[in-house]
Amino acid sequence: MIYLKLFLAFLEIGAVSFGGGYAMIPLIREKVLLNGWLSEAELMNMIAVSESTPGPIAVNIATFIGAGQGGLVGAFVATLGVVLPSFVIILVIANLVKNFLKVKGFSAFLSGIRPCIVGLIISTAILMFINNALGLEGLKGTISPDISAIIILVILLIASKAYKLIIKKDISPILLIVLSAVCGIILYGRI
Amino acid sequence: MKKKLELFLIFFKIGLFTFGGGYAMVALLEAEFVSKRNWLTREEFLDMVAIAESTPGPIAINAATYIGNKMYGFLGALFATLGVCLPSFSIIYIISLFFDRFLENDYVSYAFKGIQVCVIYLIFSAGIKLLKGLTKNVMNITVFLAVTVLLVILSLASVRVSTIVLILICGFLGLMVYLIKKSLKKEA
């Protein structure tokens, strides 16, 4: 039963995540929290690992969550679920709707989706910040800010701005992950 | 069969060596299929990227399916997609086997508490980058602000909003705006 649940959840995610990797995170977060598969912190760990290993982030996260819930078979059905919509849609477009890019109605549909996806991604980051760094769970809850988390956030912001200023390129996510790991050990381990 | 195996291996290599997902992969695909092998013209490649970006799902999978299908039909698509997924799948599955035990180490768990903050930062800056790329018109800004504010407030108030329904509503909104503009033009 968990296999079917995993498959259907990731099939749904694969079918509506326009814009690839990061666009998928709000959808995955919703499914995972709703089903009680992972806590917010566990999900964030998995996102970090998926970001620092090669390959499409969507496939990495699907495999990771699937493996955690249902072992090898779980990993397989979750990955299959997230890949299948892409695979089928592209085959249909390539073989049947050759002038797909010229279909006016569809590009209008997409023009509505694009700002929505951006809103989804940014609100996910804001919610993660509120839950994780401010320690606020709901409107009635009390705030218990995690000072170390806020310090790390400021360090990351300064580091990436400085990198861009000096090297003139965007800092790689892996470098930021390593930096935040070091900060985490120092600040949370009280070295 | 030999050609399909070659396609599988190219995508396997791309899946194994691209960090950071979609857009990093587009550059590698261009190098492999357009510059090095001439299997696709630059125009075909750009069409492929446009289609991969405007259909749902991971861009890497869309691209692999499209290129595989173009070269050798259904089986080509299957081999290419399998190739690009297999490295991810194997690496992450192996990590998942020992990840929980790995987190039991105090220093590792401190490191991951730091990394969780980084994930917030990465998601936020990915969102900001997309926001900067958005055309600044009334519809984009209204939809963006409405979605962001609505989701944050409703989630804090523990009201559940279906993300998928929200995406579809915005899609139909885009379609309606287009149809209304079109009919207004006809009347004028």
> Per residue in A65-107, pLDDT tens?
999 999 999 999 999 999 999 999 999 988 887 777 778 888 8
Q: What are the φ/ψ torsions at residue A18 (nearest 5 degrees)?
A: -75, 130
Q: What is the pLDDT of residue A102?
A: 76
Instruction: Answer yes or no: are the C-beta atoms of A21 and B22 closer than 8 Å.
Output: yes
Distance from CA of B181 to the nearest CA of A (A): 11
Cβ-defined contact of A122 to B47 (cutoff 8 Å): no
B95·A87 Cβ contact <8 A: no
Ramachandran region of residue A55, left (φ > 0), alpha (ψ -120 to 50) or beta?
left
pLDDT value of residue A172: 85
Token pair belonging to B36: 């090095």
pLDDT band at A19 (very low <50, low <70, confident <90, very high): confident
3-state secondary structure chain B: CHHHHHHHHHHHHHHHHCCCCHHHHHHHHHHHHHHHCCCCCHHHHHHHHHHHHHCECCHHHHHHHHHHHHHHHHHHHHHHHHHHHHHHHHHHHHHHHHHHHHHCCHHHHHHHHHHHHHHHHHHHHHHHHHHHHCCCCHHHHHHHHHHHHHHHHHHHCCCCCCHHHHHHHHHHHHHHHHHHHHHHHHHC
Question: Quick one: pLDDT at residue B21?
Answer: 61
pLDDT at B17: 85
pLDDT at A107: 85
Shortest distance, CA B36 to any CA of chain A (angstroms): 21
β partners of residue B56: A18
How distant, in Å, are the alpha carbons of A91, B4, B22, B178 from that of B64? 11, 12, 11, 32
Report the distance separating Cα A156 and Cα A183, nearest Å: 10
* Nearest one of A23, A19, A5, A122 to A73, comparing CA atoms: A5
For chain B, say whether A80 makes contact (Cβ under 8 Å).
Answer: no
- Tell if the CB–CB gap between B69 and A94 is shorter than 8 Å: yes
The DSSP 8-state label assigned to residue A49 in this structure reads H
Q: Residue B79 has what pLDDT?
A: 96
pTM of the model: 0.87
Measuring CA to CA, how many Å separate B167 from each of A27, A32, A117, A126, B162? Answer: 10, 18, 7, 19, 9
| Cβ contact A47:B117 at 8 Å | no
What pLDDT is attached to residue B169? 94
pLDDT at A10 over 70: yes
Q: What is the mean pLDDT of residues A57-67?
A: 93
Q: What is the pLDDT of residue A110?
A: 87
Is a pLDDT exceeding 80 seen at residue A50? yes
Q: Does A6 touch chain B (CB under 8 A)?
A: no
Is B111 within 8 Å of A44 when comparing Cβ atoms? no
Low-confidence stretches of chain B (pLDDT < 70) are 20-23
Both structure tokens of A76 = 């397989």
